[in-house]
Structure 1
């Protein structure tokens, strides 16, 4: 039947209506039942042969279809149980094409013999039995679950996990059941998902090889393939690669580190500007093979341009708890990242701090030497460890003498001590220990921000920098940020500037990383306040145990802090009002 013909052409006589359907083939029994249900639902509809055909979506007053309205209606149905194993399929750490294949298996859309017979009812398949067991008809549930060959593979998997098992009714039920085959840990769940998906994938490939190539493997070879694929996929995901890298460099505290991808197009002979690069955090379930394929496809699409693709291992954010971590590799990597940001100019400092930081970096690089100016790399070290925008504020000879004098005073410092001192100086800055994001302005209600901006986020709030030339512009403390959120291409902040709420929007692909970093610092602040309140309450309880005065609760403490903050704001407003009157 032509899908584009109008309804009036197949509508017969007036009520009771008759429908003149002209199907291209005979309907199966199940399709006849569906047609009867359709005709029954059409009986209660009011149709007019004089009106033009038009599409209308009854779930919205506008008559326009939206996915949101459809999903909301489905979720509010009485039987709103999960109808698809989302976590098993899309959250698994396997290649994307394998995820798409498992999606077809779950929806029973593969070209198994039973579906092929339905699509061509006038042709008989010969033979129509399962090519693995050669005993029963082939369907998705039989091929991937009830076939004697497949069932033997499933039994072997459950024996490896030391679990008793009763096969469910369908392969979809198998995906829904939350088996704890290799433990409840994240690593165990991932391994079980990979092993189950590898089994389904290997069975399908074996079925195709037996049909089209007339070759067959025994159960032992199939099990070896399942074992290899499950292990290979697991160790090629971003989460496992992160663990392997941490193990290679002997980094024990790696929870604040992550993998990032970076792509940048370079036109002509222009070198890339490191300060404008965007680092997109990789999801833990990202398959590294898919990422490399995306890099290759992106390079193939870039005509006449140079595409730089990088995979970066670095910290997601700096937290206040990092100061108590004594792992030497953790300190080393924190120093490297902060040094990188400092040399890019993301930490504007004064001349004294710049000279001290340069001397510390030289000490870390070459150690202490009695006459460092005789070193062949002395000039290059001065240029390398001094940010460009700070270096131009002073004569080169003055910088050299200042840094050299400070270097001679560090005779008793070790390289580790110099690293700690370097980190300590940057930590004390208002924007110290920030993670930086390159964004573009979308909406600036004040009209003072440039088109391109560098955002720095730390435990104090959000900081705004001009990228070229590097310049500090403004800071918004955490208490001034009322709301924030992100999409795939943008991030917004609703924050207070000079006592007035404004909404700022910026274009970026790192919106999720920005919001996660900001929310993490807010949670740390709230946790620290709560701990202080609890300790103050317990201290007053111990000190006044002989009296009948009850210690204030946490809620009372928080209310007092809020009242004091409001009183402080009112006094500041009154002071500004008085000063403006005097002026």
Structure 2
């Protein structure tokens, strides 16, 4: 860094092409200063030129380059891989978690919903516990879960162990025809559902409903806090059925299902 030279430059807003010229196969820099430089400042210029020796310039127009992708092109996957590396360097990620993070995007759910589930698994959504940890909640604000009484609203509680959330999950399990005991983590639930699928079509359907359940629980929570709604498990399950059916019409690679067929036997719809 050369802040001293920058402060003395007459070319602060100049383009690279305006502070030099090509002579043969070499690029020669031409700096302009607002006064004569002292000897120690001349030494800084020499250091700057040494640092610039490794810079290779061409005559093509500048373009944007996305560094996390070797091809320089932006993509959601490269962004996800980059953020996953950053976050995993901050936290100790167990092998089970790594597998889920690798598989979570392989789902027909909308991208914004998958992104929400991804944030949830990293515990980066604004639950009351997280807001309190970041000192965003006022001292007098409630830290309790909106779905029950006496429990702090953490991610794992709100989406899995809250009595309301458990009722929702058990109703969803009955609806899709599986028997599962609520596991200790959302990672485990993801892996259990994925492992119970007998083929890829059913697996895609299960993951679609897994994402829809998390999304609808969060929507119900927000509606309770901000719109004077309520955390009613039956209403949440109905919303899960409606929303997942709408997604299935455009996102599952199967023949469309009528809504009554979807609510009666989604497994049959998965296999069409």
TM-score by length of 1: 0.27
Matching residue of 1:201? 215
- Residue 82 of structure 1, CA deviation: 5.1
Superimposed CA distance per residue, residues 75-119 of structure 1 (whole angstroms, 9 cap, x where no aligned partner): xxxx98353424652111111111111111111100001110111
**Distance 1:132-1:80 versus aligned 2 partners, 3 A rule:** closer
Deviation track 1:100-146 (CA, whole Å, cap 9, x = no partner) reads: 11111111100001110111178425211001123311000000000
Q: For the residues of structure 1 that align with 2:173 and 2:250, how far apart are their CA atoms?
A: 24
Distance in 2, matches of 1:146 and 1:88, equals 24
Structure 1 residue 162 displacement after superposition? 3.8
Partner SS for 2:253: helix
Is the CA contact (8 Å cut-off) linking 1:149 and 1:219 kept in structure 2? Answer: yes
- Matches of 1:135 and 1:93 in 2, distance apart? 37
Q: Secondary structure at the match of 2:230?
A: coil
Distance 1:236-1:121 versus aligned 2 partners, 3 A rule: closer
Contact between 2:107 and 2:208, CA under 8 Å: does it hold in 1? yes
| Pairs within 5 Å for 1:222-241 | 222-237=236-251, 239-240=253-254
**Structure 1 unaligned residues grouped into runs of 5+:** 1-64, 245-583
Output the CA distance in 2 between the equivalents of 1:163 and 1:150. 17
**Cα distance between partner residues in 1 of 2:233 and 2:103:** 25
Greater relative contact order (Cα < 8 A, sep 6+): 2
Contact 1:198 1:230 in 2 (8 A): yes
When residues 217 and 113 of structure 1 are mapped into structure 2, their CA distance, relative to the original with a 3 A threshold, is: closer
Q: How does 1:72-87 map to 2 (within 5 A)?
A: 81=95, 83-84=97-98, 85-86=100-101
Instruction: Determine the C-alpha separation between the residues in 2 that align with 1:238 and 1:159.
Output: 21
Whether the 8 Å CA contact 1:112–1:140 is kept in 2: the answer is yes
Q: What corresponds to 1:192 in structure 2? A: 206
Matched, 1:135 2:150: yes
Report what 1:153 is aligned to.
168
How far off is 1:221 after superposition?
1.6
Contact 1:113 1:137 in 2 (8 A): yes
> Quick one: structure 1 residues 144 and 123, their matched pair in 2 at CA, closer, same or farther if it must change by over 3 Å?
same
Higher strand share: 1
Partner of 2:54: none
The 5 A counterparts of 1:167-186 are 167-180=182-195, 183-186=197-200
User: Root-mean-square deviation (CA), in Å?
Assistant: 3.1
Higher helix residue share = 2
Cross-structure match for 1:552: none
Deviations 1:274-295 (A, max 9, x none): xxxxxxxxxxxxxxxxxxxxxx
- Cα distance between partner residues in 2 of 1:147 and 1:179: 23
Quote how far apart the aligned CAs of 1:66 are. 7.4
Taking the aligned partners of 2:94 and 2:183, their CA distance within structure 1 comes to: 21
Contact 2:193 2:207 in 1 (8 A): no
Segments of structure 2 that go 5 or more residues without pairing to the other structure are 1-66, 71-81, 257-272
* CA shift in 2, pair 1:67/1:128, >3 Å: same
**Paired residue secondary structure (2:109):** coil
CA apart distance, 1:220: 1.7
* Equivalent pairs, count: 172
Q: 1:187 to 1:209 in 2, by over 3 A?
A: same
Q: For residues 104 and 67 of structure 1, do their structure 2 counterparts lie closer, same or farther at Cα, with a shift above 3 Å needed?
A: same
Q: Is the 8 A contact 2:209 2:240 kept in 1?
A: yes
Give a deviation string over 1:135-177, Cα, whole Å, max 9, x none: 3110000000000000011111222344332222222332233
Structure 1 pair 217–133 and aligned structure 2 pair: CA distance change class (3 A): closer
Residues in 1 aligned to 2:204 and 2:157: alpha-carbon distance in whole angstroms = 25
State the structure with more CA Rg.
1
Conserved in 1, the CA contact under 8 Å of 2:204 and 2:252?
Answer: no
